[in-house]
Amino acid sequence: MKSNYQVIVVGGGHAGIEAAWAAANILGTSKSVALVTLDAEKIGVMSCNPAIGGLAKGQLVREIDAMGGMMGMVADATGIQFKLLNTSKGAAVHGPRCQSDKHAYARVAQQFIASRPEIEVVEGSVEAILTDGEHSDLVATGVRIGLKDGGELELHAPSVILTTGTFMHGIMHRGQDTTEGGRVGEAATNKISDALRSLGFELGRLKTGTPPRLDIHSIDWDALPVQDGDETPMPFSELTRDGWEIGGLQCDQFPLIEQVSCRQTATGPGSHDAIRANLDRAPIFTGQIGSAGPRYCPSIEDKVVRFAERDQHGVYLEPESHESDWVYCNGISTSLPDDVQDTIVHSMPGCEHAKILQYGYAVEYDMVRPHQVYVTGQSRLVEGFYLAGQINGTSGYEEAAAQGLVAGINAAMRARGGGEFSVDRSQAYIGVLMDDLVTKTPREPYRMFTSRAEYRLMLRSDNAPDRLTPIAMELGLLDHHELGSLRKERFAVRRTAIEFGRSLMDSTMDGSKTIADRIHESDYSIEHLKRAIQSKMEAEFGVVHPEVYQTLHAQKRYEPYIERQKIEIRRHNEIEHKPIPEWIDYELMDSLRNEARAALSKYRPSTFGQASRLEGVTPADLTLLSVLVKRARLSRREAEAANAE
């Protein structure tokens, strides 16, 4: 095993594998990326809900795919139910989602990683981050890992990415019982927290949870309401419709594997009474868990307390895999004792005799407060050291993978000689995510929502390739792999088809109006558009995929609003990208309000745009800050000139 790499990625979860994949795409050199994980067989494991995408999260997956990432393809190859959410509303908030076969997902993710000669998997536990320099001039040089046989090994690289998930000082809670670990059956990593503190990082503590899993054969499955997927499912990856192949895996049809139905049930008054009667045994209420959990995905005990007027809460029963009998109970995440979980489950219709295969539990873990990170994923305290995933306070596979993509790109660019990559809030949900993390330290696990994106009319799931694939091409993300070449070819066809479709919409009459005019009518659907131009489109391009018609329809329907948003973006760009020097000392700016000075000192925004989104900073503060920064720059230039003399 070699000891010198260009990029070291720590952690084999969704952030880690996406970071390693992106770095490999940039570098294209054999064994240039080390992927360090406790257990290679756990790479890509779906720890909680075996699903990918959803509201806003689906946009993230589409964006990752548009940048040459792997999550969309893995999801397409292993999805057992696909559904486009929010279709009763406009295209801007549609969210593609799939229920995944969790065993197949991990296996395929491992095939993807194994197919890349650029990536070498190293089993071990990271015990220290190696650095050169002192205090404010620290530079990452590698990691020291503990091996399974008890030995130690040092790996060296100019870029290190840490993606520890829920494993840093992870503690699992179930009733009054606590166990060290990041998930069932897997040990916590305890030394890395101390290593980060020794480097000066401020750590926090967060909580997440998971529901019980049931045996499908013990459920009265056929008696429950059916929840089917879409009759014509939409894939995440632009490559899937026409097929792709990697590492012996061939995705030559879609869906690739047998689809399943889910079922719906609900909790009831009896289980709610049992929960209320046992709150003194619930870790989140007894003080046993002191950290915050996800507000938008609360435990069932939290729901019963917060929504006392509700006499039931919906629960979706989702098969986890074709390879097991396990069913995921979506909606009753809990850390209550086993006997209370028995009562909750057996009170649900269809589950009166259900066998619990694994009880729910909560996980409490260390995270790094992300105001210590740049939008590139690089830490502010150690040059060449990147953080991605739940370590930055996020929740969800998709948010983790998006951060991994950003960190992997930037770590590889640094190792290759320089340059930085970031996207604006107006370009991608990925940009919204990264900006939110560095300007708003999470008090609870951060989850992406469409409401967080002020330019969501432009950031639709259907147009992710149009927004981001040209950027991927410019960065070289598609240059060193056969899938990259395939993506370039498919994107060129898509772009030409959309241009041709737009010209048809302007020139083709539908009744007394052109299609371009008719499309603004509320009842003029995608199907109307397709019927009007399909024959001409297919005469030119052969098969034209549904996603092309979705983009043509949405782009034209939203056109007046999109133009308005573009004007707004141009107006804000001056302040958005106006830089604030790193060396500015806010504590010396006595004329700023104390609240603004404290926020600026803590978050140290890189631009005035970031500063404008800090809690505690008003428009008046920004105006004054602009003046003070100008003065500081002038004073610095005068001092440098005097020293030069």
Q: How far apart are the C-alpha atoms of 461 and 474, rounded to whole Å? A: 21
Coil/strand/helix, residue 456: coil
Query: Are both 287 and 393 inside the same structural domain?
Result: no
Is 483:491 a contact under the CB 8 Å cutoff?
no
Q: What is the pLDDT of residue 134?
A: 83
pLDDT at 294: 64
Helix (H) or strand (E) holding 560: helix 559-576
- Chain segment 423-448, per-residue pLDDT in tens: 999 999 999 999 999 998 777 889 99
372: confidence class by pLDDT, cuts 50, 70, 90: very high
User: Is the distance from CB of 181 to CB of 188 less than 8 angstroms?
Assistant: yes
* Neighbouring-strand partners of residue 100: 79
Q: Give me the pLDDT at residue 538, please.
A: 95
According to DSSP, the β-strands at 382-383 and 138-146 are: parallel
Among 323, 324, 341, smallest CA distance to 332 is for 341
Is residue 167 located within the same domain as residue 234? no
**What predicted TM-score, i.e. pTM, was given to this entire model?**
0.93
CATH number of the domain enclosing 320: 2.40.30.260
Cα separation, 435 vs 374, whole angstroms = 9
- Per-residue confidence (pLDDT) for residue 40, from 0 to 100: 95
Residue 46: phi, psi to the nearest 5? Answer: -95, 100
221 and 187 in a common domain: no
- Give residue for tokens 């100019």: 158
Q: Which long-range contacts (CB under 8 A, 24 or more apart) does 269-272 make?
A: 269/311, 269/312, 270/343, 270/347, 271/343, 271/344, 271/347, 271/348, 272/304, 272/311, 272/312
Q: Would the pLDDT of 365 be above 80?
A: yes
Buried b / exposed e over 539-553, threshold 16 CB at 10 Å, is: eebeebbebbbbbbb
Contact predicate 293/207, CB 8 Å: yes
Q: pLDDT digits over 175-188, tens only?
A: 988 888 887 877 78
Residue whose C-alpha is closest to residue 634's, from 566, 556, 581: 581
Q: Provide the β-strand partners of residue 210.
A: 361
Per residue in 568-618, pLDDT (tens digit) is 888 888 788 899 999 999 999 999 999 999 999 989 999 999 999 988 888
pLDDT in tens, 515-529: 999 999 989 999 999
CATH code of residue 452: 3.50.50.60
Tell me, yes or no, whether 1 lies in a domain: no
The number of residues making up the chain comes to: 645
Q: Is 547 part of any domain?
A: yes
pLDDT in tens, 256-300: 999 999 999 999 999 999 999 999 999 888 888 876 666 667 899
Q: Is residue 530 part of a domain?
A: yes
Place 101 in a pLDDT band, splitting at 50, 70 and 90.
very high
643 or 41: which leads in pLDDT: 41
Estimate to the nearest angstrom the gap between the alpha carbon of 138 and the chain centroid: 29
Identity of the residue numbered 40: A
- Kindly state the greatest CA–CA separation across the chain: 88
Q: DSSP code of 161?
A: E
At 405, the pLDDT band (50, 70, 90 cuts) reads: very high
Query: Does one domain contain both 487 and 465?
Result: no
Write down the pLDDT at residue 296: 60
How far is residue 421 CA from its own chain's centroid? 17
User: How many separate domains does the chain show?
Assistant: 4
Q: In terms of domains, do 240 and 386 share one?
A: no
Same domain? For 397 and 385 the reply is yes
306, 334, 361 — which closes off a domain? 361
For the chain, the straight-line distance linking the first and the last C-alpha, in angstroms and rounded, comes to: 55
Q: Structural domain of residue 376, as residue ranges?
A: 7-207+365-474
Q: Evaluate if residue 78 carries a pLDDT over 70.
A: yes
Chain segment 243-254, per-residue pLDDT in tens: 999 989 999 999
Domain boundary among 339, 361, 383: 361
Based on the fold, state whether residues 187 and 218 are members of the same structural domain: no
Min mean pLDDT across 8-22, 324-338, 481-495, 614-628 is at 614-628
pLDDT over 90 at 80, yes or no: yes
pLDDT for res 57:
97
Does 379 lie in the same domain as 267?
Answer: no
Q: What is the DSSP string of 394-453?
A: B-SHHHHHHHHHHHHHHHHHHHHT-------TTT-HHHHHHHHHHHS--SS-B---GGG-
The verdict on residue 572 lying in a domain is no
Which of 562, 590, 613 terminates a domain? The answer is 562
Helix (H) or strand (E) holding 572: helix 559-576
Same domain, 535 and 615: no
Q: How far apart are CA 160 and CA 140, in angstroms?
A: 7
Residues 557 and 583 reside in one and the same domain: no
* Tokens of residue 224, six digits: 């429950």
Contact 207, 284 (CB under 8 A): yes
Report the mean per-residue pLDDT for the chain: 93
Given a cut of 80, whether residue 379 has pLDDT beyond it is yes
Using an 8 Å Cβ cutoff, are 43 and 106 in contact? Answer: yes
Q: Is there a domain that residue 2 lies in? A: no
pLDDT at 15: 98
DSSP of 319-354, one letter per residue? Answer: E--TTS-EEEEET------HHHHHHHHHTSTT-TTP
> Is residue 441 one of the residues assigned to a domain?
yes
Q: How confident is the model at residue 321 (pLDDT cuts 50, 70, 90)?
A: very high
In a domain, 302, yes or no: yes
Q: If you average pLDDT over residues 107-122, what whole number do you get?
A: 97
- Identify the bridge partners of residue 81 per DSSP, sorted by sequence position: 99
Same domain, yes or no, for 524 and 398? no
Closest CA to 79 of 56, 96, 57, 60: 96
- How confident is the model at residue 286, as a pLDDT? 83
pLDDT number for residue 639: 82
What per-residue confidence (pLDDT) applies to 284? 84
Per-residue pLDDT of 27-42, as tens digits, reads: 999 999 999 999 999 9
* pLDDT confidence band for 167 (50 / 70 / 90): confident
Q: Give me the CATH number covering residue 585.
A: 1.10.150.570
Within a domain: 113 = yes
The confidence score (pLDDT) of residue 181 equals 84
Using only the alpha carbons of the chain, give its radius of gyration.
26
Residues 345 and 399 placed together within one structural domain of the fold = no
